[in-house]
Amino acid sequence: MNIKRTRILIADVHPIVRTGMRKTLEETPDLRIVYDAGNAEELLKILNEEIVDMVLMELDLSGGNTFDTLKRIKQNWPQIPIVVFTDKAEELYALRLIRAGVSAYIIKETEVAVLIEILRKVATGKKHITTRQSELLAEAFIEPDRTDAPLHELLTDREFQILFMLASGLRKAEIAENLQLSKNTVGNHRNNIFKKMNFATNSELTRYAIRQGIIKL
């Protein structure tokens, strides 16, 4: 009997992670990693040239450009499901990424058997939402303006990108070049971030980002 194999493109900056994931799925008859990329540029190039059934990518593949990369994939290859895997807590990114069209948000500590079942589920066109992610979605829907929400939840996706990049030590000019925006636009986003979060300096923003786990030392 012929078994349809899901052709997976894995994207991670660490070669050892890509190799390990490839070996992990070698024993599965229906899942196979056929391409791998070390950055967002390689990922998009492969999608443009090869036939892929699923993208499995790490959250930090392109730094602050994660949402831009996702947007390009969804615009150009809407039929390809995207699974994001990361070591960052669901509270930080899961809700934003689900809204952006991601089919599953997986913590890297997930057991292999569970990972395989999630990938199989996504391969059928379904989304995988954890209990915690369901709770976050419900909270956002029922109480969108709740006062106990983290301050970064007040930000748009673009503002959240720029918060990440500012907290990571990038200057305004570097962010503008990275995101292909004008320095004035980046400055306006920065001002909006500071206003929404009641910050006065980059140091305050950075300390907040560290406390929340948005960036690591």
Among the listed residues 208, 201, 110, the one whose alpha carbon sits nearest the alpha carbon of residue 153? 208
Structural domain 151-212, CATH architecture: Orthogonal Bundle (1.10)
- Let me know if domain 6-139 sits in CATH 3.40.190.10: no
**One-letter amino acid for residue 205 of the chain:** L
From CA 46, how far away is CA 8, in angstroms rounded? 11
Of the listed ranges 10-14, 41-45, 99-103, 120-124, the least confidently predicted one is 99-103
Torsion 42-45-49-51 (CA) sign = positive
179 vs 77: which has the higher pLDDT: 77
- The full set of domain ranges for the chain reads 6-139, 151-212
pLDDT of residue 3: 72
Using 50, 70 and 90 to split pLDDT, how confident is the model at 93? confident
Tokens of 7: 């052709």
From CA 152, how far away is CA 208, in angstroms rounded? 9
- pLDDT tens readout for residues 111-145: 999 999 999 999 999 999 888 878 777 776 666 55
pLDDT of residue 63: 58
